């Protein structure tokens, strides 16, 4: 009997339920048995349980140990904090992994093949801030040796496992000599244990310029939390946008895989959202679960559908619907399995 994997499913807000429905079609086409358990967070968490992150959701993720989620709405400059950040903290999902790969038929840059490896639990992105006097707000950047060493080890182990050749630590240690200096020191120490992998360093502003002029020089990028968030979106732009990039949040015990674009309330319910990001995220999750064949088939199906250019949602320049894209991807997976 084929193995069945329990997976927590947080469809999310806005376009989340629409793209997750197409992801389920692709799952069915792979033949892999994923048993989805629905859970809620963000706006839907408030609507159902009056809580942005209900206890039921956390308990379910801890039980299944693996989750896949659509986008969650985060209010800007007011309201509740980021549920994504809260999930990462509560579950110690310290490694944010975002592979970025060119799709020749679609991507502005044809030679991008890199992985963002972002520390996920501290730094300015943690949102530790307070008002110290009227009109004066302080945000605190916390960098620790333990967290920096942990993400550096994960980056080098990932590079070794995936036969990647180079890890580049991205920093601003010329200005933040203590915090970013500590991050760099940890990366340097860890790199000594991996002589077969080239190690390099680059200041974050220069890295941004280099990424848009010669992205092929990069392989695995090791970054602190805030730099990683910004640079990963920049890299998504190199290959066609956030609708084409998957993401995973990995810890020692748990993992949550997520499409990294927003909830897009302006197009929710219109049936025109691009489901490719959540489908590629599914491919990442299948690989994590040990279903390498299915993972490769899903990724190749995306490549084939994009290359054919017959089915394109509006963000890709076409007029096809979310469901038509999902159908095309599922059909292609069926051919490849």
Give the DSSP letter of residue 311: S
Q: How confident is the model at residue 190 (pLDDT cuts 50, 70, 90)?
A: very high
Give the DSSP letter of residue 270: S
- Residues near 278 by beta carbon (within 8 Å), at least 6 away in sequence: 19, 20, 22, 23, 68, 70, 246, 259
Give me the chain's average pLDDT, please.
Answer: 94
Which residue is listed with tokens 């980021």? 82
Model pTM above 0.85: yes
Q: How confident is the model at residue 313 (pLDDT cuts 50, 70, 90)?
A: very high
Mean pLDDT, residues 260-268: 90
- Give the residue extent of every domain in the chain: 1-99+240-337, 121-223+231-238
- Comparing C-alpha atoms, which of 147, 235, 228 is closest to residue 187? 147
Better pLDDT: 105 or 22: 22
Q: How confident is the model at residue 52 (pLDDT cuts 50, 70, 90)?
A: confident
Token pair for 198:
């080239």
Alpha carbons within 13 angstroms on the beta-carbon side of residue 196 total 8
Mean pLDDT, residues 113-117: 98
Res 81: pLDDT: 61
CATH class of 121-223+231-238: alpha beta
Phi, psi of 116 (to 5 degrees): -85, 125
Res 79: pLDDT: 52
d(CA 295, CA 169): 28
Query: Which pLDDT tens digit goes with each residue over 203-261?
Result: 999 999 999 999 999 999 999 999 999 999 999 999 999 999 999 999 999 999 998 89
- Classify residue 295 as exposed, middle or buried by CB count within 10 Å of its CB (0-12, 13-18, 19+): buried
Length in residues, the chain: 337
d(CA 68, CA 282): 8
Which residue is listed with tokens 């920096």? 148
Res 77: pLDDT: 47
Would you give the end-to-end CA distance of the chain in angstroms? 18
* Range scoring the smallest mean pLDDT among 11-15, 142-146, 328-332: 11-15
Report whether 71 contacts 78 (CB < 8 A): no
Element at 114 (helix H, strand E): strand 113-119
Res 120: pLDDT: 94
Q: How far is CA 337 from CA 119, 299, 331, in A?
A: 35, 12, 10
Query: Which pLDDT tens digit goes with each residue over 53-92?
Result: 999 999 999 999 999 999 987 655 445 567 888 899 899 9
Q: How far is CA 4 from CA 19, 88, 200, in A?
A: 23, 26, 42
Superfamily of domain covering 1-99+240-337? Isopropylmalate Dehydrogenase (3.40.718.10)
Element at 174 (helix H, strand E): none
Q: 16-30 and 276-288 are packed helices; what angle lies between their axes, rounded to 10 degrees?
A: 50
Q: How far is CA 195 from CA 56, 115, 157, 166, 188, in A?
A: 45, 20, 12, 11, 11
Report whether 45 contacts 38 (CB < 8 A): no
Token pair for 97:
């992994």
- Comparing C-alpha atoms, which of 9, 104, 91 is closest to residue 255? 91
- Comparing C-alpha atoms, which of 224, 220, 275 is closest to residue 27? 275
């Amino acid at each position: 009997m084929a193995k069945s994997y329990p997976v927590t499913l947080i469809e999310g807000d806005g376009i989340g339920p629409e793209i997750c429905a197409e992801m389920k079609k692709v799952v069915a086409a792979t033949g892999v048995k994923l048993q989805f358990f629905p859970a809620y967070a963000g706006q839907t968490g408030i609507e159902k349980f009056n809580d942005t992150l209900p206890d039921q959701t956390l308990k379910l993720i801890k039980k299944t140990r693996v989750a896949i989620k659509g986008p969650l709405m985060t209010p800007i400059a007011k309201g509740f904090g980021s549920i994504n950040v809260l999930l990462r903290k509560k579950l110690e999902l310290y490694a944010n992994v975002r592979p970025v790969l060119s799709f020749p038929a679609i991507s502005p840059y044809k030679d991008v093949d890199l992985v963002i490896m972002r520390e996920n639990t501290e730094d300015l992105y943690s949102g530790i801030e307070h008002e110290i006097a009227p009109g004066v707000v302080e945000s605190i950047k916390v960098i620790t040796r333990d967290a920096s060493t942990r993400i550096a080890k994960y980056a080098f182990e990932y590079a070794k496992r995936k036969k990647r050749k180079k890890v580049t630590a991205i920093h601003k240690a010329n200005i933040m000599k203590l915090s970013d200096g500590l991050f760099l020191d940890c990366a340097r120490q860890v790199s000594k244990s991996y002589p077969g992998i080239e190690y390099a360093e680059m200041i974050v502003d220069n890295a941004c310029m280099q990424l848009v002029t010669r992205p092929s020089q990069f392989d695995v990028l090791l970054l602190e939390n805030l730099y990683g968030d910004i640079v990963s979106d920049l890299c998504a732009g190199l290959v066609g946008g956030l609708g084409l990039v998957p993401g995973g949040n990995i810890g020692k015990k748990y993992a949550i895989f997520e499409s990294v674009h927003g909830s897009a309330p302006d197009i929710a319910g219109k049936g025109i959202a691009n489901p490719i990001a959540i489908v590629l995220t599914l491919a990442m999750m299948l690989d994590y679960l040990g279903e390498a064949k299915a993972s490769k088939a899903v990724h190749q199906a995306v490549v084939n559908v994009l290359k054919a250019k017959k089915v394109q949602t509006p963000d890709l320049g076409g007029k096809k619907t979310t469901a038509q894209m999902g159908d095309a991807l599922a059909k292609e997976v069926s051919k490849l399995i």
